Amino acid sequence: MGFEGVGKSLGKDIVAWTRTSGKSLLASSPVKVNTSELRYVPKLQRDVVQISKKLVPADTSLFPWAVRKPEFSMTKVNPDSLVLVHMTNYYPSNGRILSTNLATKASEGAGCARTTIHFALNKPVTEHALGNPWNTMDYAIIAPFKETVEGMPKSKVIGGIQDDFFFQDAVQIPKGSSILKYNPDVTPGNFVVSEAFDGIKLIETSNRNLNEAADIVIQKMGYTTYNDSMRKFLGASEDDMKLLISQPAEDVKVFFNQVAQNGGASEYKKRLEENLKTTIECFSDTPGGEEIINQNKSMFVEEMKVLNLYEKYSEKFGVFPNSWREFCSKENYLNGLHSGTPWFKAEMSINGIGLAEKFNGNSWGRNLKQIFINNLNNAEESLPKGKSLGYDVKKVIKIIEDSETPKIANERLQQELKLKPMLPKQETQEFYKDSLDDTNDGSFLEFALALLGID
């Protein structure tokens, strides 16, 4: 067995790490080797690799190699204060994060239509009812914003919002980054630190709530978390902050805007009270009505809590979105939700073809084909200068035009463009089956329009 730089010499013995099973370098065990019996074998030098692991307390003190970064500010965005956080169940490929499109193309021969890679800034993405289980992902990739952007072609840096900043195709993880990994064998209250790639640390934790562990790693790397900065800026109590960060910041901003547009907190409260009163009157003498009334009372209490937050913090809460807008304008980044971008529209059109095959009796119905074509055309026409959707949209449109059924279109997309729809998780598919009738084109049409964000 060959060797290279495999340990610190202790007389004639060294301690090396040898791979014991599987493909991961982490599946290793220490072996004592007598140096007098070793011979240099150049062609086998990759068989043994040194992995130096160090136990570090999982507190908020800086890592030994980290330096304090500028404070994250709500009033003015400084790129040096920003750190990107990507939650995933996939370990980076050769130090790169791949889009779903490239990853599935490599493993399955055809890539799903999503060509974008998504991060949150200075915090893990907020878990919510309609999203993925972000809190319990296996990996969090935490990378300095400035160095990541500088290492990317400008055409691949898109933009977004604080909870969702995205790039296209692949992101090379720069030096100074950390890969946080869930490992149930790590002693609680500690991190196990080793080298993942050149200048990139692998940090293992047994904290199953990886979002919580990621916040600590962000601080140990020298950055301010978004939530800490916002709490200080707002002057919010701990209980108020728990409620504020229980939903994505964009959702809170949208709700605050709705309240403002409907006459403010007092008017909104009157509407809620009237709705609850009507519910009680309608269901008080109805079988099962008590349960409905109680549910509405609980909702009323929760909405009143949020209205209380509006009265306290709505003015200050809008400061960072304005700062972010100015920063994006200066750097020529897109500023807005992914769901409003050309990439989302194109992605969902291709996904819609797969859904039409599966849930609309493999039929285009009355005008699904034209809806998807129009949406793809609009996506390409609305692309920012110098950007691409990641595939030939004109060829996609031609295939749809020429295909008699969604199934034929899907087969041709996979064969000719190595492109396929990204269907929802199985439980969501079951919901579609229950909600949509294969013979009722009207219900699927309504669903498809909602899917594409078309009124």
Q: How confident is the model at residue 361 (pLDDT cuts 50, 70, 90)?
A: confident
Q: CA 201, CA 177: separation in Å to the nearest integer?
A: 7
Yes or no: say if 162 and 115 are a contact pair by the CB < 8 Å rule. no
The residue with tokens 């909870």 is 163
pLDDT value, residue 17:
30
Biggest CA pair distance of the chain: 91
Task: Dig out the tokens for 241 from the structure.
Answer: 């902050």
Residue 160 pLDDT exceeds 60: yes
CA–CA–CA angle 265, 269, 271 (5° rounding): 120
- The reported pLDDT for the residue numbered 427 is 60
Provide the angle, in degrees to the nearest 10, between the axes of the packed helices 441-452 and 426-435. Answer: 140
Q: Is the dihedral of CA 21, 22, 25, 26 positive or negative?
A: negative
Q: Do 157 and 103 form a contact (C-beta atoms < 8 A)?
A: no
Closest CA to 197 of 214, 179, 210, 223: 179
Q: pLDDT band at 141, cuts 50/70/90?
A: very high
3, pLDDT greater than 50: no
- What confidence tens digit (pLDDT) does each residue in 8-20 have? 333 333 233 333 3
3-state secondary structure of 455: coil
Q: Calculate mean pLDDT across residues 176-194.
A: 96
pLDDT of residue 43 exceeding 70, the answer is no
Span 250-255, average pLDDT: 84
Taken in order 240, 243, 249, 250, the sign of the CA dihedral is: negative
Concatenated DSSP letters of 80-139: GG-EEEEEESS--BTTEEEPHHHHHHHHHSSEES--EEEEEESSPPPP-TTS--GGG-SE
DSSP assigned state of 164:
E
Cβ-Cβ contacts under 8 Å for 163 (sequence gap 6 or more):
120, 121, 123, 125, 126, 248, 249, 250
Q: What whole-number distance in Å separates Cα of residue 9 and Cα of residue 167?
A: 45
- The pLDDT tens digits of the residues spanning 285-313 come to 888 889 999 999 999 998 898 899 999 99
